[in-house]
Structure 1
Amino acid sequence: MSAPLQFSLQGGVAEILLDDGKVNALSENMLEQLLAAIAKAAETDAALLISGRPGIFSGGYDRKLIDAGGPACDAMRAAGDRLTLALLDYPAPLVIAATGHAMAKAAFMLLLADYRLGAEGDYRVSLNEVAIGMTMPDGAVLQARARLSPQWLNRCVLQAEVFASAGALEAGFFDELQPAEQLLERARAKTRQLAGLDRRAYRETRALLNAPLREAFTALQG
C-alpha cells in the first residue's frame, strides 16, 4: 500500500502533505501514518505545516468505516482521539493550510492549529456529523466550544452548516484566505515566522493555552 502522506524536514520546518489520491479520508492507516509523522517532527522540535493536495484537505473520517461500525471503526476513532492530543501537545508552532474541502474531523484539525489558512473558493468546510446521522461526540463538542465563537456554535455543531471558504473564515475555522496558487507559499512564510519566535516561551505558552481543553478532553477518555 502506498503512503497516503509525504513528510519532509528542512531548516527547522517540517511539512506533512496528505495525499491518498482521493479525498484524504482519515482512515486508521492514514491516522497512524499522520501520528508517526507528527511524532517525527516533534522529536526535532520543528515548526510544522500540514496541508493537503490541491482541492482537498480531507473529507474527515473514512465514511465506509463509520457506516459499518464495529472494531475497525472503534480503532479509527481511537486513533483520531490520539491525533487530537498530538496536535494539542505539539511542542512547536503548528500551521495548517487547507488546500480545499475540510469536513468533520478535518475541520476539527483546523481548530487545533495555531494558525489556519484556507484556499479561496467554493470549498466546503463543515462539522457535518448531525447531517449524516451522528450525534456529535462529547470530545468534539469540547473542541468546538473552546475554539469557535459562541454565536457560531449552533450553526456549526447543531445545524451542521456547510460553509464556503469565506464563511468558514467568518465562523472561525480560518485565520486568513489566500488564492489557491499562493496558499502554500504564504503558509510556509507564516510557519517560518512563527518558528522565529522564542521556542521555550512559545512551547510553554502554547501548553498553557491548550491546558483547559486538553484536561477536559483527557477526562472524557477515562
Structure 2
Amino acid sequence: MIEIHAHGAIHEIRLARPPVNALTPEMLSALRTAVQAAPEQGARAIILSGGERVFSAGMDVPHLMGLDPAGLKAGWASLFSAARAIARSPVPVVAALGGHSPAGGCVLALCCDYRIMARGPFRIGLNEVQVGLVAPDAIQHLMRRVVGPYRAERLLVAGALVEAEQALAIGLVDELTDGEHVTKRAEVWLQELLALPGEAMLATRRIARADLVAALDGFRNDDLDGFLAEWNSPSTQAALKALVARLGR
C-alpha cells in the first residue's frame, strides 16, 4: 500500500492502493512509519505522491463502516497519527497531487510544506459536511492557515471541493503543472530549498510550522470520542450509507 522511491537525498513515499488510494488504518500506519523512518534512512526531504488521477479519495468509508467500535476508533486515530507524522517531519515534505484530493487526501496534503497539483478537472477540499460529518477544529485549522479564516469558513461549511485552478487562486495549492510532471516539480522545488543554508532553513521552518503541530497535538482522545459520537448519529449514518450505496454503483 506504500511504495518508497529514493531520488538521491529526496525520498518519495507513494500511496499505492488502487484504484483510488482509499485510506485504511493499515495504510495510514504504514504511511506514518515511512514518514518517520525516512530521515533516519538518509532523506533530507520527502515527496508524498499518489495515483495519476486520484492522489487519495480519503478514508475508506465502506471499510470503516464494517469495523467494531474499537476498530473504528483506531481507524480514525490512524489518520491523525499519519497527519501528525507529516506535520512533525524534521525534513520538508511536498505533496505531489496527481489528481483528486478530497477529505482525508486533502488533510494529508495540508500537513505538507508545499502542494503541487495536476492541472485539469481535479478537485481538492474538505467535503466532510457533504457526507454528514463535522471536521474537527484541528482539521479546520489546517485549512484556515493556508486560505485564511473567512474563506476557510465558506469552504468548510459548504463541504466544498474546488477544481485545481481555483485551488491555486485561493492558495489551497501552491502551483499547478501537467499531471506527469507533479513529482518532478516537487523534486525540483525541494532541491532549491535544500540548496539554502540548512540549519537556518530547518530552524525557520520549525518555528513557522509550530501552529500546525500544536493544532494536531491538541486533538485529544475526548475530541475523537466526540467525533465518533457524531459519526454514530442517525443522520450521519444515513448519509454514510447513502455514500456507500453510491460507491457500490
TM-score by length of 2: 0.82
User: In structure 2, what is the Cα distance between the partners aligned to 1:125 and 1:10?
Assistant: 27
Aligned residue for 2:166, secondary structure, equals: helix
Q: Is the 8 A contact 1:125 1:165 kept in 2?
A: yes
Partner of 2:59: 61
Matches within 5 A, 1:61-210: 61-68=59-66, 70-210=69-209
Runs (5+) with no aligned partner, structure 1? none
Q: Does residue 1:14 correspond to 2:8, yes or no?
A: no
User: Which residue number in structure 1 is paired with residue 232 of structure 2?
Assistant: none
CA 1:66–1:133: 2 relative to 1, 3 Å: farther
Q: Tell me if structure 2 keeps the 8 A contact 1:168–1:174.
A: yes
Letter in 2 for 1:80: L
User: Structure 1 length normalisation: TM-score?
Assistant: 0.91
Could you tell me the percent identity over the aligned residues?
30
Partners in 2 of 1:113 and 1:197 — Cα distance?
19
Give SS of 1:220's match.
coil
How far has the Cα of 1:122 moved from its partner? 0.5
Q: How far apart, CA to CA, are the structure 2 residues paired with 1:72 and 1:171?
A: 37
8 Å contact from structure 1 (residues 94, 113) kept in 2: yes
Partner Cα separation in structure 2 for residue 216 and residue 81 of structure 1: 11
Deviation at 1:221, TM superposition (A): 1.7
- Taking only aligned residues, the RMSD between alpha carbons, in angstroms, comes to 1.7
Counterpart residue number, 1:46: 44
| C-alpha separation in 1, matches of 2:131 and 2:214 | 29
Q: One-letter code of the match for 1:151?
A: Y
Cα deviation, 1:54-101, whole Å, max 9, x if unaligned, reads 111001111124445622221121111111211111111211110001
Distance in 1, Cα, partners of 2:215 & 2:162: 28
Greater Rg, structure 1 or structure 2?
2
Residues 191-220 of structure 1: per-residue CA shift (max 9 Å, x gap): 222222222222211211111232233233
- 8 Å CA contact 2:94–2:115 kept in 1: the answer is yes
CA distance in 1, matches of 2:117, 2:63: 27
- State how far apart, in whole Å, the 1-side matches of 2:14 and 2:215 are: 30
Count, aligned residues: 219
Given the alignment of the two structures, is residue 220 of structure 1 paired with residue 219 of structure 2, yes or no?
yes
Which is helix-richer, 1 or 2? 2
- Secondary structure of 2:112's partner? coil
By how many angstroms is 1:104 displaced? 0.6
Q: Structure 2: which 5+ residue stretches go unaligned? A: 222-249
